[in-house]
Structure 1
Amino acid sequence: MKILSLIASRRSPGNSEILVKQASKAAQKAGAEVETINITDLNIASCEGCLACVFRGKCREEDQMDTLVEKLIQADGLIVAAPIYLLSPASVIKKIMDRALMMSLYIDDMQGRRRGSLNMTVAGKADWNPIGMEMMNQFALSFGFPVYNYHEAYAPGPGEILLQDDLMEDVASLGAGLVSYLRGETEPRTPEPNQCPSCYSRSVRLLGENKIQCPFCLVEGTLEANNQINIPQEVLNDAFWTPQHRKRHLEDWIKATRGRYMKNREAVKQKLKDFS
């Protein structure tokens, strides 16, 4: 069993690094092979939206994203932690997540495998972390890791997380729990009534009347009494991050745009001349 642990913080030793190492040590003790990488040290370029990864089978960027993707494909489990800055995770999370279309080519390789993630955030205080967990879960899902569990920690100063003994014990338990989950011995976290049952998001888009949509996995349902989210199981079975939905999105939308663009290319070039 392989677990890839990712630190998404430039501060060392920082709270995110400490959480990742605490969970990773417990996972390793439970029998997993663990590799830890600080993704802020990697040479990762911003996505240009060129779709070369889809149409050519390889990104045009000569950076380390190919290596990271290979490790993500090989891993059974993912442990990742990031600090919360301006209401959401550190920018490296979004930068790498923007490149997740590269994973679409490997969906079949990941099907049939039990995979899972433990996602963690560290903020100074709770009201500064409105969508941190949602984005971290989306990060894991975008690379093909269903969410086993997540943890939201709070410690404003570097290393202060170590002063919270109960929290450190909880994180170690979650690290060992991820190994148990990957072995099929443990079920994933049960969503709360006010969470999306697909990705655990507590954020919703209001569609009118009592209809809602999860903005992180695009499933639609209703908002019932006491803020309880109700999404039919058949809808959950086809959430955006499921393999079948991602394959359909790749074939029916992304690849289909190429022919349309080729038809429109000359008209676009002429419009660009007039525009400039």
Structure 2
Amino acid sequence: MKILGISFSARDKGNTDILVNTALRGAASVGASIEFIKAKDLNIENCRGCLSCVYKGKCPISDDLYKFIELVKSANGIVAGAPTYLFGPIGKVKTMTDRSLAISHFLEKIDPEKKFGITISVAGNPLWNPLGSEILNQFILSYGFSLYDFLAGYAPGPGEVLLNDELLENTYRLGKELVLALRKEKEPPKAQENQCPYCKSRLVKFEEGKIYCAICLAPAEIRDGKLSFAANYEPFWTKNHRINHINDWIIPSRDRFLSKIKDIKEKAKQLNI
């Protein structure tokens, strides 16, 4: 069994690296093989939105994306850590999440129920980290892993997490539990109150009188002052939902666009664009 650890911190041996490696040591303590990589060592460009990955089966950008995808495919579990500098995780998390559509041509072979991940958000204090965990969780969901659990570590100075024994113990324990869950020796923890039961998100959006999880789109309503999410809902990040999204929305969108291209060009000419 292999657990892949990825740190999005540009700093070496800082808080994020320390916590990701602590979780990996926990995984190794129960027999998993581990690998640690730095996102900064991967040359991954911004998505261009061309959808070649869907229509042609391959992204045309020549970078390290498929190198990372091969690492993901070979891993049973993932530990992803990222620092928050301004309310959410470092930008490369979003860059790599956007590129995850490139796995669409082998979604059939991915089973999120057999691949788990944990995330570690690192920031100076909780008040300034409202989006750190959820967006990082979305990253592992986008590459075909189910979320086992997540935690946040708060320490503003480089290496300061080393002074927080409780945090180190919890991180080590999560790494260990990740492997046990993959072996079906431990059940993933249940979502807490007001958390989405499917992706454990604490973020919701209100639209036209309806409530949705902002990460997996699970519908919810407020009952007795608490969020109540729909039962037996298939959230966005399941294999079937993603395949249907590609077949029912993305692929037909090409013909819809081509039917409008003449009007688009005429309008662009009028506006001198």
Give the alignment's TM-score, normalised by structure 1: 0.94
In structure 2, C-alpha distance between the alignment counterparts of 1:207 and 1:273, rounded to whole Å: 35
My pick for the range that moved more, 109-118 or 134-143, is 109-118
Match of 1:271 in 2: 267
In structure 2, C-alpha distance between the alignment counterparts of 1:196 and 1:116, rounded to whole Å: 17
SS at match of 2:114: coil
Match of 1:59 in 2: 59
Match of 1:242 in 2: 238
Match of 1:9 in 2: 9
Instruction: Note the alpha carbon deviations across 1:207-254, whole angstroms, 9 max, x for none.
Output: 466x41111111112112242x2122222xx11111111000000000
SS at match of 1:255: helix
Instruction: Note the alpha carbon deviations across 1:135-169, whole angstroms, 9 max, x for none.
Output: 11111111111111111110000100001112111
**Cα distance change, pair 194–21 in 1 and its aligned pair in 2 (3 A):** same
Count of aligned pairs: 272
**Cα distance change, pair 18–103 in 1 and its aligned pair in 2 (3 A):** same
- The alpha-carbon deviation at position 29 of structure 1 amounts to 2.2
Match of 1:42 in 2: 42
In structure 2, C-alpha distance between the alignment counterparts of 1:258 and 1:226, rounded to whole Å: 43
Instruction: Note the alpha carbon deviations across 1:158-216, whole angstroms, 9 max, x for none.
Output: 1000011121111111111111010011111211111111111112122466x411111
- The alpha-carbon deviation at position 113 of structure 1 amounts to 5.8
Give the alignment's TM-score, normalised by structure 2: 0.95
In structure 2, C-alpha distance between the alignment counterparts of 1:254 and 1:201, rounded to whole Å: 25
In structure 2, C-alpha distance between the alignment counterparts of 1:106 and 1:224, rounded to whole Å: 40
Matches within 5 A, 1:198-213: 198-207=198-207, 211-213=210-212
User: 1:260 pairs with 256, 259, 265, which one?
Assistant: 256
Aligned residue type for 1:231: F
Matches within 5 A, 1:118-133: 118-133=118-133
Matches within 5 A, 1:1-276: 1-111=1-111, 114-207=114-207, 211-227=210-226, 229-235=227-233, 238-276=234-272
Aligned residue type for 1:33: S
In structure 1, C-alpha distance between the alignment counterparts of 2:241 and 2:5, rounded to whole Å: 27
Instruction: Note the alpha carbon deviations across 1:76-129, whole angstroms, 9 max, x for none.
Output: 101010001110001110010011111222211113761100101011001011
In structure 2, C-alpha distance between the alignment counterparts of 1:222 and 1:70, rounded to whole Å: 40
In structure 1, C-alpha distance between the alignment counterparts of 2:194 and 2:46, rounded to whole Å: 34
In structure 1, C-alpha distance between the alignment counterparts of 2:258 and 2:204, rounded to whole Å: 37
Cα RMSD of the aligned pairs, angstroms, is: 1.4
In structure 2, C-alpha distance between the alignment counterparts of 1:59 and 1:275, rounded to whole Å: 32
In structure 2, C-alpha distance between the alignment counterparts of 1:217 and 1:130, rounded to whole Å: 17
**Structure 1 unmatched runs, 5+:** none
- The alpha-carbon deviation at position 69 of structure 1 amounts to 1.2
Instruction: Note the alpha carbon deviations across 1:58-86, whole angstroms, 9 max, x for none.
Output: 11110000111121122110101000111
In structure 2, C-alpha distance between the alignment counterparts of 1:252 and 1:100, rounded to whole Å: 18
Instruction: Note the alpha carbon deviations across 1:9-37, whole angstroms, 9 max, x for none.
Output: 00111100000111111212211121111
Q: Give every structure 1 segment of 4 or more consecutive aligned residues whose post-TM-superposition deviation is greater than 6 Å.
A: none
SS at match of 2:232: helix
In structure 2, C-alpha distance between the alignment counterparts of 1:142 and 1:108, rounded to whole Å: 14
SS at match of 1:98: helix
**Cα distance change, pair 245–113 in 1 and its aligned pair in 2 (3 A):** closer
Aligned residue type for 1:215: A
> Is residue 218–residue 230 contact of structure 2 (8 Å, CA) maintained in 1?
no
